[in-house]
């Protein structure tokens, strides 16, 4: 009889311990869930290699976010496929706000280069913040007798197929903007794709190619040294670093021609909760007000912007349509 009572008591004691443990774990889970976002490490995926504009931007803004939120912010470089590999890695992450993706123009351009797009930049992701633009400078080899964009058009029309331009290949902003420029002006300038920006710059300096649409930070030392000329910027206004270089549309006067600068922003998987997206947006926009961040961005030739996320979404849709139409015209889809 006593052994039965002892056995029953032991079972009750064990059951009590199990219940206590379960309640403790539940309490921890509830507490973790109830803790305000963010409460753990945030990862920013950069779909390009270290040292690129996206990488510098992510690290600069990430440091400011970390100081503001008191959580660690790490940057993970997932290079490859013109940004597609990194974008897919972000898409496959949990939609909890702890994995975000820094994006630029190729985020929208690259998918439409595929007959079966690997992702939909509009439906698969939610905008968090669009933060800066950096213009492309249409850099000219010093070996050519051209001084402005009108002279370039005249020279190209007089010498069809003889001028060349360097691009970063299909799905890139340099290719897109030059191909649109060719269409609106009716000139024949041959594309030469490069895997390396440094090699393209070397060939431009050596006169092996005529033109190279390249972002301001990568070309400013050569412009200041007078080794190359900047004919125009692919933007609607002048660059603060090079105010003497006119916007490309200004010199052409072609109605409806609207060039695109390079832009940078942040997105997350589409299922990320709205309140988390709002918090991330606030953290990023706060970082953009940090004096250190501002100084770093100015040195890159970047102009801070702060559109609403609704406008960011509209911009993505517009650029996706622009990229689709261009892909159809020049037949670059694979």
**Which pLDDT score is estimated for 86?**
97
Across residues 106-130, what is the average pLDDT? 93
| pLDDT tens, residue by residue, 58-105 | 999 999 999 999 999 999 999 988 899 999 999 999 999 999 999 999
Structure confidence at residue 331 as a pLDDT band (50, 70, 90): low
Superfamily in which the 136-252 domain is placed by CATH: Periplasmic binding protein-like II (3.40.190.10)
| pLDDT tens, residue by residue, 283-321 | 999 999 999 999 999 888 899 999 999 999 999 999 999
Give 296's contacts (C-beta < 8 A, 6+ positions apart): 56, 60
Domain ranges (residues) in the chain:
42-133+262-330, 136-252
Whether pLDDT at 244 is above 60: yes
Extract the runs of DSSP E, i.e. beta strands, from 95-241: 99-104, 125-134, 136-140, 163-167, 189-193, 211-215, 229-234
**Which pLDDT score is estimated for 44?**
99
**Which pLDDT score is estimated for 6?**
43
Whether pLDDT at 15 is above 70: no
**Which pLDDT score is estimated for 196?**
84
Cβ count near 247 (within 10 Å): 19
CATH number corresponding to 42-133+262-330: 3.40.190.150
**Which pLDDT score is estimated for 255?**
80
Residue whose token pair is 């947006």: 281
Across residues 48-56, what is the average pLDDT? 90
C-beta separation of 219 from 301 below 8 A: no
Distance CA 274, CA 43 (A): 18
**Which pLDDT score is estimated for 91?**
98
Angle at 121 between CA 310 and CA 97, to 5 degrees: 70
C-beta separation of 128 from 265 below 8 A: yes
Whether pLDDT at 330 is above 90: no
Whether pLDDT at 207 is above 90: yes
**Based on the number of CB atoms within 10 Å of its own CB, is 2 exposed (0-12), middle (13-18) or buried (19 or more)?**
exposed
C-beta separation of 232 from 251 below 8 A: yes
**Residue 223, both tokens:** 């412009």
| pLDDT tens, residue by residue, 109-118 | 989 888 889 9
Q: Do domains 42-133+262-330 and 136-252 have the same CATH topology?
A: yes
Across residues 44-59, what is the average pLDDT? 93
**Based on the number of CB atoms within 10 Å of its own CB, is 22 exposed (0-12), middle (13-18) or buried (19 or more)?**
exposed
**Which pLDDT score is estimated for 291?**
94
Is the previous residue joined to 11 through a cis bond, with omega within 30 degrees of 0? Answer: no
Whether pLDDT at 22 is above 60: no
Look up the pTM and report it: 0.83
Comparing C-alpha atoms, which of 239, 253, 255 is closest to residue 302?
Answer: 239
Extract the runs of DSSP E, i.e. beta strands, from 194-235: 211-215, 229-234
Across residues 118-128, what is the average pLDDT? 97
């Amino acid at each position: 009889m006593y052994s039965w009572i002892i056995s029953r008591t032991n079972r009750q004691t064990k059951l009590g311990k199990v219940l206590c443990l379960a309640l403790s774990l539940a309490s921890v889970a509830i507490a973790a869930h109830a803790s305000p976002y963010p409460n753990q490490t945030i990862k920013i995926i950069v779909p390009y290699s270290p040292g690129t504009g996206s990488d510098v931007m992510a690290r600069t803004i990430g440091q400011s976010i970390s100081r503001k939120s008191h959580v660690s912010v790490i940057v993970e470089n997932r290079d490859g496929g013109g940004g597609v590999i990194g974008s897919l890695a972000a898409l496959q992450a949990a939609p909890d706000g702890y994995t975000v993706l820094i994006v630029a123009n190729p985020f929208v351009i690259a998918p439409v280069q595929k007959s079966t797009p690997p992702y939909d930049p509009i439906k698969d992701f939610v905008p968090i913040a669009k933060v800066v633009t950096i213009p492309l400078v249409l850099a000219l080899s010093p070996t050519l007798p051209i001084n402005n964009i009108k002279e370039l058009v005249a020279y190209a029309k007089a010498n069809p197929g003889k001028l060349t331009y360097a691009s970063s290949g299909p799905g890139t902003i340099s290719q897109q903007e030059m191909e649109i420029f060719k269409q609106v002006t009716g000139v024949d300038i041959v594309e030469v794709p490069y895997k390396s920006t440094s090699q393209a710059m070397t060939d431009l300096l050596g006169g092996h190619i005529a033109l190279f649409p390249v972002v301001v930070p990568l070309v400013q030392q050569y412009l200041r040294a007078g080794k190359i000329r900047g004919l125009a910027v692919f933007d609607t206004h002048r660059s603060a670093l090079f105010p003497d270089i006119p916007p490309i549309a200004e010199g052409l006067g072609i109605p409806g021609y609207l060039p695109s600068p390079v832009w940078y922003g942040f997105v997350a998987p589409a299922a990320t909760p709205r309140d988390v997206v709002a918090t991330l947006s606030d953290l990023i926009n706060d970082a953009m007000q940090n004096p250190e961040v501002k100084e770093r961005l100015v040195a890159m030739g970047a102009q801070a912007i702060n559109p609403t996320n609704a406008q960011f979404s509209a911009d993505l849709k517009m650029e996706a349509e622009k990229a689709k139409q261009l892909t159809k015209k020049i037949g670059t889809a694979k």
